Copies of this chain bind each other. A is one copy, B any other.
Amino acid sequence: MQRVTIDLGARSYPILIGPGLIGDPAVLGDAIGARDLLVVTNEVVGPLYLDRLLEALAGKRVRSVLLPDGEQHKTLDVANRVFDALVHGRMNRDACVVALGGGVVGDIAGFAAACYQRGVDFVQVPTTLLAQVDSSVGGKTGVNHPGGKNLIGAFHQPRAVVSDTATLKTLATRELRAGLAEVIKYGLIADAGFLAWLESNLASLLALDPEAIAHAIRRSCEIKAEIVAEDEREHGRRALLNLGHTFGHAIETAAGYGEWLHGEAVGVGMLLAADLSRRLGWLDDGDVARVRDLLRRAGLPGAAPAIGAPRALDLMGMDKKVLAGRIRLVLLKRLGEGVVTGDYPAEALVATLAGHFGGAA
């Protein structure tokens, strides 16, 4: 088992990484602490892992709630089902919410834990690569609003993250690939050496080689831990973690939640960020080709949908009038060094969008 610590003073917590942790009473008992638990999972993950988890939690008072699967169900209404389960279970402030599943389950369960009685304990048991390397770590929780992703939420740190790498065996290939997009993100923003390692070990990762997978998860969590510890509430550097996300959100929203996987949209978004960085003279053609090749080898989509640059701008929260006061984007100074900046020519952004989304709506 590997261990990474998120250093947030009194709210510090461990990320535990290894195969079979869902069935390990000692690891879970230590991670969870509380005696009263609500396990939140979904109709895909529940049938696979809930029984094993419940067995390992024998001796505690455990209830569970099964949510529908998919980003389109990350809503306030579905969060309310978790509140209902907490109330019907008469859970009090000593209770703990355990999220068993991917990013959607973790975000909803974490938001419910943040709000129930103004905050109860929360443990993440992520079962997708994306959740293990990204969404389960760092305390961002929330649900979507028809007007945009994650518009309703809270910062609420878990008291532990338990990443059972054996769960990746039951993960759909498409989901695995989407998770790799976030792994690649960490290399791009913070560690050129890790990026090179990914280029060399991509085949092993896709084949779920245990050592390669554990290394990729640990290194991703280390990079995220370091950034989150420095800027928990995203007043500055934490925004680096959003590489590709502003472009990606436009893709996800245009397609409707659930059509593109989050990681797929982020993958294409990173390609746009690399392209814009090239237009600013920070990357060269070879750098962009490396990003494109790595994403392609990971099996991620290579092109944005043809929604047109104006619609993409609109979905990014911008229009022609506010291009002057344009939003900050995460770009790449070089491969392995991200930067958060609003200091780019509007024309370079428009050219990038036109090049990828098409010129007209």
Contacts and interface: CB of A to CB of B under 8 A. Distances in A.
Interface in A117-158: 117-119, 140, 142, 145-148, 150-155
A323 to B, nearest CB: 15
A87 interface: yes
A289 interface: no
A207 interface: no
Contacts of A151: 83, 86-87, 116-117
Residues of A in contact with B, size category? 20 to 34
A84 B84 CA distance: 23
A80 interface: yes
Interface in A14-43: none
Contacts of A154: 114-115, 118-119, 154
Given A118-B140, A118-B142, A142-B118, A152 B83 contact: yes
Contacts of A117: 151, 153
A321 interface: no
A118 B232 CA distance: 12
Contact of A147 (B87, B145, B153, B317): B87
Interface string A62-87: 00000000000000100010011011
Contacts of A76: 76, 80, 83
B118 A155 contact: yes
A153 B87 contact: no
A11 interface: no
Contacts of A118: 140, 142, 150, 153-155, 233
**Top 4 A-B pairs, shortest CB-CB distance:** A87-B147, A118-B153, A115-B152, A87-B145
Interface of A: 76, 80, 83-84, 86-88, 90, 92, 114-119, 140, 142, 145-148, 150-155, 233, 317
17 contacts: A76-B76, A76-B80, A83-B152, A86-B151, A87-B146, A87-B147, A90-B317, A115-B152, A115-B153, A115-B154, A117-B153, A118-B140, A118-B142, A118-B154, A118-B233, A119-B154, A119-B155
